[in-house]
Structures are given as structure tokens and as C-alpha cells.
A and B are shown apart, each in its own frame.
Chain A
Amino acid sequence: MLHGVGTLMARSLRLEARLLRTHLFRLVFVGIIYLMMMIAQAQSLVKGAPGLDFFQMTIWLNASFIALGGIGFFATAITEEKEEETIGLLMMAGLSPLGILFGKSTARMCQALLLVAVQFPFTLLAITLGGVLMNQVFAAYASLLAFTILLSNVALLASVVCRFSGTAMGVTTLFLLTKELSWTWLAPALAWLPQQPWMQNPVGQGLLAVLTWFSQSGLGLRLNEILRTGFADRAFGVQVVFDLVVAAVCFVSSWLLFSKFALRTDAATPGRGLLQRRSGMFRWFAAGRAWSNPLVWKDFHFLTGGMAFAVLKFLGYGLALFLMIVGQPFLMQNLFGEPWTEIIEVHLGVVMVGLLIEAAISASRIFMDEIRMQTMVNLLTLPRSIAYVAYSKVLGCACGLLPGLAWLGIDVTCLLPNGLPQAAEAIASPAFWVAAVVLTVFLHLTVLLSLFVKWGALPLAIFITLLSTYCCPILFFALIFVGSAGENREAAMIVIGILWLVLAVCCFVFQMMIHARLYELGTK
């Protein structure tokens, strides 16, 4: 049962250690820390004790990197083997389920921990720069390491149970969001439960203790606490203990559930979601005959879920509005002056966030099937250009955004008082265009990265975009300048124009790179 436990793990670690890219990646990460240190040093000219600022930047960078990159990195550990139908081969090679878990997941966790550990000596310099105590450094790193261990094991469990990498990543993300936001959504329950008479018994108190514990387990919450001046708590707080306990439970569960879930043989075929077959009962939700541009048809139905999913999305946005209206007397009574306007504005925000998430997910998946199923070669031998293929696919994905766009239109034109003038004003504002440009570049980057990495293009793109916006503060300066331009609007527009031009060049370069990569993938 325990045969070959360490074999795969040792091999993975040895292989990773030999790769140049591993060390280059670590070097880049240390380089970013170094850049932050230089910024802190520059700050020391104008403010005292810049160590805390430097330390805060480093820790938040790490936290976002682990959370964003880790989801894709850890959640694919077992699913990628399922999708390539190689789990059986690993088992035939004499590896036990435990050996596979160690080799595929624990090895990745060790790599991530090493990446965090490699910067530890540099962050000690924060103490020299002033404003940070040794205790804070230890506490912050303990939190990060515990979070990494938790994330890798939760993702491992998701990877064992789920059929596809995408599902495993979704489940892991949902868990992280639930955990990180537990202090908000559990707060009303934690205030209400202790007052209930049926909670005044050992079981009730135990439940309350667990909920309280869970509500304090968020990494963000803990890091905020640690990074506050005057932190004097223990290095191992509730979050560290909680994360390690949950990680252990997840690992053991993964081991126990491995044989039941991981040996499924149907993972190599992607699911059809709600898409029906022509001969099925719900033919209306079938893909039907291909459109005159079949690439648009294919991506609308097989990537964004087709008509059934579009209807569901439309109903979902409507349901969100309905719940806001119904819940308004209870939830928003004291928060808003004009309830209707505020509700529609909140709904508008929900729809826009939904659209952003949909667009980002589509961008990361647009060429995924073509790469996984090696179908790019078939598309490239069509009497069409690569650009036609790529833009048609983009259009197909854009069709999936129609329900959200429809609600955006309904909110602005029908539901929001003075919606159209407000929308026109928002569109005329330079900040809108800056945001549009950043979003466009971000989507291009996501598509480009998805052509190079198997999974995790989206988190990586978010990370790079955040880092670039941080490292290239020109965007913020432009926004500040535009915001304070007042009557000097023309100058502000010139700045935005230049920014547009620069970012348009970026998009053009990205498109050329996407073109070249698609050609390369087709000819491989």
C-alpha cells in the first residue's frame, strides 16, 4: 500500500531542481522584492521607517501570488493525469495512491514553499529599514506558509474528486472566497447565535467556537493584524492552526477518496454542460446546425454553454435583482437614501463584475480545447486565415456575454432613473477609457498566457496585470492627473490618448504573439 511513496515526489523535486526555468522564476521573484526594496529606499527620503511599507508590499505580493497562482498550480495536480488518462499507468508502474498524491501535489507544495522561503532573508531587511519587528516577520511567514499548505491540500482534494481541472479550480476558488470572506458573512450569525436559548449547551457552544474560529481564519484578516504597527501576538495564530488542521483533513480525505474518484476514465472527454443532443428531450437547448460562421457557433455552444446557459445567466441576473428588491427592506433600509436607484446601481455593479468574470474566463479558455485536443491543425488547414479563426472564436465567446449585456442595457435604459445621461457621462470620463484599456490589455494577456501554460493563465494574468500596474504607476499618475485636471480637460485627454496609443501598441504586439503561437501550435 505504501510502495513507492516517495519515488514520484523525489523525481518531481529532482526534475524541477534541474530545470533552468525554476531558478529563473525564483530569480524574477527575488528581483521583484528587490524592486520593492528600492521603492522603499526611495520612500525613506520623504518618510521615516519605510520598512513596514516594504514589508507590507512584499507580504501582500506573496499572498496574492500564492492565492492566484496556487489555484491553477495545485488544483490540476490529479485532474491533469485524469485528462491525459495516465493515472492508470502510474498505478501500473507500482505507485500507490499515496505515492501519487505526494509526487503530484506535495512536490508542488514544496516548490511553492521554497519560492516563499527564498525571499525570507530579504524581508528581514525590513527590520533594518525600520518599522517592523522580528515577531511580525515570523508571524507573516508562518501565515503564508500555512496558507500555502492549506491551499495545496484543498486544491488536491478538489483535484481528486472533480473530473476536470476547471471544476477543481472553481471549487478551490469557491472555498477560498468562502474562507476569506467568512468574517463578513458569518458576522450576523455570530452576533445572533449566542443570544439563542438553544445554543446554551455544550454542543451549541462548541459550534459557536468552531464558527468563531472559522470566521478568524482568513489570511487577509490575519495579515492585516500582523502588518499593523505594534503587533505583539503569537506567531502561530488561529489562522495558522486552522489552515494546518484543514490541510491535514483534506490530504487524508484525498487519500481515502483517491480510488473512488481519481480512477474514473471519462475525464479525457470534456463535458457538454447543459448542451443537449439533437435527439435528446430538450432539443431546444441543443447546438443545432452550425451557423454560417461555424467557429462562432462552436465557441458559443461548446465554450460558453450555448442557449441553455445563456437563458440561465439571464435568469440569474434577474434573480439577483429580484432578491435585492425583496431583501431591500431588511438589508438596505439604513444604507441608502434612494433605495430603488441604489438597488439598480448595485445590480449594475453585479452585472458588470459578472461580465468581467465571464470575459476573463472565456479569454483563458478560448484556445484551451484546441490545444488539449490538438485540433488547431484542423483549423489551420481550413481555407481561412489564422486571424479569421481567432476573431471568430472571440465573437463566439462574446455571444456568451449577451445575457449580461442585455441586463446592462435594461438597467441603464429602463430601470435606472436618468440612466442614459449617467451612462453617457461615465463613458465620456477619461477614467472609463483607462479602465477599458487596462481591461483590453488584461484580456489579451490572458489569451496569450493560455497558449503557453496548461492551467492558471487567468490567475497569472491577474497577477501580472496587478504587478504591472503597481510597477508602472503611470496609470495611476494619469488617473490622478485626469481627475485633478478640472477645466483643463483637453490636456487630460491628451494624456489618455498617449496612454491609449501605448496600450494599443501593447495589444498589437500581444496579437502578433498570439498569431505566432497559434501557428506554432498548429504546426507542432
Chain B
Amino acid sequence: MSETLAPASAPAASSPAAKPVIVVNDVVHSFKGRRALDHVSFEVKAQSLHGFVGPNGAGKTTSLRIICTLLRPQSGSVRVFGHDVVYDTREVRKRIGFMPDHFSTYRQMTVYEYLDFFAAAYGLSLKQRTQTIDDVLALTDMGGRREDLIGGLSRGMQQRVSLARVLVNDPAVLLLDEPASGLDPRARIELMEILKELRAMGKTIFISSHILSELAELCDAVTIIDRGKIKYSGGMHELLVRTGSHPTYRLTLDQDRPDLQAKLEGLPGVLTVEPLAGRPEYRVMFDDAVTNTNAVLRQLLDWDVPVHGFAPDRRHLNEAFMDLTERGVK
């Protein structure tokens, strides 16, 4: 990677030392009397890939538009790298790249003209522009299409051009609103690969998406919003691993054993054994003061149980999402 899009050397997001680069504090925003954001607060840590999920109309786009300085919060504050989005608009805009949830490109321009236009708009010199555009085209794998008209490109290609546009000023924070919407599976996977690469380069990525499975795989942290209120904001791991006073493990068998539940419940220290409907799986909770993972697993093997997997119980993001958000619309 060239110097224009060089990897940063700040602490990784997973590290507790990572500082928040976006701080949303008690933001309230209403449209025509309908409260879109109701005392919303969350943080996005540096160099993290932070997912932002919620049902339609939950307030995701409003939050993103406030963070990227397009909307002024009616109360509360939002800071990006310590700069207030209302009072330090220019400083915030220098540090962010916002990709809206719709294609917003000049379709009569070629890919190169479009990127050159935005690079110049961010004040890059001619030499810097040439280098940067080459870099972003290489990153988005659009080098071969630089002289193509944007209007003639497929949706996936246009989305790559949009992403390349966001990158021309080498922003530290990328705000992406539904970047994978309307893309075919291949284009979506390729887009996610580019995002992984960007994270590896040290960018902070705040991504709103409906494709929960991909977010779960990709993101370090997630914020779930529903009806204008934050339902969860924190690490992805903490959300998906069922945390409680006792460890909970998921036991997966190759073949079900009807007597297994009763046998497991009889073991010392095992608190609950819950069979999962339709699958040869059990959720096992035990008291770690009495027993431990190895002991339970050893006992299972002694019983000649065909164990396929025994791992900490993780929810799917879908489950967490459904648990945290409410049915229907407000």
C-alpha cells in the first residue's frame, strides 16, 4: 500500500486503550414532532469496525447524518476526534468519509474524473491526487475501469466507486450507510473484503447494515438502536456470548441421545441442560465453583457421547437483535 493510504499505528480497537473517536452523547432529534432519536448515547472506538443495526425507521440514518455534520442535533452533543459536529464542522468533515444509502454519483463522468473531482475538492495537489486515485482504484479493484462512464457500471461497481470516493481524502473514520444494500452476494462479499482491508489499514469504520450475519463476522463492536433508543452498544463478543453468573456452553452432537439430558442434569455442578429444538444440541450451564469444562467434556466422552462441538454458547446476531428490538413499528 502506498503512502497516501498508509496504515495507522494507533492501538487496536480490541485493546481497552483504544480511545473513542466518535462520542454521541444524549442526542435528541425529532422530525415534525416524531422523535427520531431519543437521548441516544454511544461511542465508537478508534480503528474498530463498528456495526450499527436497527429496524427500518429506528434512527440509523438520522444518527449517521448527525455524525457526518449534515444534520444538527436538537439537543445533546456529538464529537468526532474531539471536534463538535456543530461548531467544528470543517474539522470533522476533514476526518470523515460518508457514504450515503443511495447511489450519489455523477453518472456522466468517468470513474477517474469523478475521483479526481472529489480529490481536488478536498484540496489535494495534482501530484497527490494522481497517487491517491491510483491507490483507491487499486484498493477497490477498479483500476481497469478508470475511463468507464459511471452510468454504465453495474450497481456493485458503482458502490465501489462510491467507496473509492469516500477514501480519496484518506479519512480516519468511514461512515457507511447500508453500503451492501442492493448488491448481489458476490459484490457484497467483495465489499466486505475491502472493509476488512481498510480496518487492517487502521481506519475506523462505522457501518449501518441490515445484513446481520456479515456484521457479526466483521465487526468488533455493535450498537443496536430501536425506535430512536439505544438497546445495546458495546463489543460484539459481549453481545453474542451469553454472559451470566455461570458459564454456559453449547453442546453439539453428531447424533442425538435421548437419555443425555437426564444424565447431564445428574452431574455434580451442572445447573441446567436445555435441549435446542430441532437440532441435536443442548445448552449446558454449570457452576464453575463445583465443576469445569474439562470435567463435563471428559464425562461426556466416558459415556461415549458422539460430541461434535462443545464451546461457549454464542447467540447469532439475529437472535440478539430480535431479543433487543421490539416487534412492529411505532
Contact = CB atoms under 8 A, between A and B. Distances in A.
Interface in A374-396: 374-375, 377-384
Interface stretch (B12-20, B46-54, B144-152, B210-218): B144-152
A503 B143 CA distance: 52
B165 A290 contact: no
B105 A294 contact: no
Nearest to A379: B121
B121 A382 contact: yes
Interface string B73-95: 00000000000000000110110
A330 interface: no
A172 to B, nearest CB: 23
Given A302-B109, A374-B102, A377-B70, A382 B117 contact: no
Given A297-B120, A302-B106, A377 B93 contact: no
B119 A290 contact: yes
A47 interface: no
Interface string B118-130: 1111110010010
Interface string A284-321: 00010111111101100010000000000000000000
B105 A373 contact: yes
A295 to B, nearest CB: 7
B110 interface: yes
A381 B68 contact: yes
A523 interface: yes
Contacts of A289: 116, 120, 126, 129
B110 A290 contact: no
B286 interface: no
Contact of A378 (B90, B116, B118, B152): B118
B96 interface: yes
Interface string B136-148: 0000000000010
Contact of B152 (A269, A295, A369): A269
Contacts of B120: 289-294, 297
Contacts of B70: 377, 380-381, 522-523
Interface residues of B, number: 38
B65 A523 contact: yes
B100 interface: yes
A94 interface: no
Interface stretch (A67-75, A223-231, A271-279, A457-465): A271-279
A382 B113 contact: no
Contact of B108 (A290, A302, A374): A302
B63 interface: no
Contacts of B35: none
A383 B93 contact: yes
A522 B98 CA distance: 13
Contact of A272 (B68, B105, B108): B108
Interface in A247-284: 266, 268-272, 277-279
A290 B69 CA distance: 26
B96 A381 contact: yes
B2 interface: no
B315 interface: no
Contacts of B122: 382-383
B71 interface: yes
Contacts of B165: 378
Nearest to B72: A523
B100 A290 contact: no
Given A278-B110, A295-B121, A298-B117, A377 B151 contact: no
Contact of A269 (B69, B90, B149): B149
A190 B91 CA distance: 71
B104 interface: yes
B112 interface: yes
B107 A290 contact: no
A129 B98 CA distance: 65
Contacts of A291: 120
Contacts of A292: 120
B121 A384 contact: yes
A369 B114 CA distance: 14
Nearest to B147: A279
Interface in A389-446: none
Nearest to B69: A381
Contacts of A522: 70
Contacts of A294: 116-118, 120-121
A373 B105 CA distance: 6
B107 A377 contact: no
Contacts of A378: 100, 104, 118, 165
A333 B98 CA distance: 66
Contact of A297 (B94, B105, B117, B129): B117
A375 B121 CA distance: 14
A266 B68 CA distance: 33
11 contacts: A266-B151, A269-B107, A269-B152, A270-B107, A271-B108, A290-B121, A294-B117, A294-B120, A298-B117, A381-B69, A384-B121
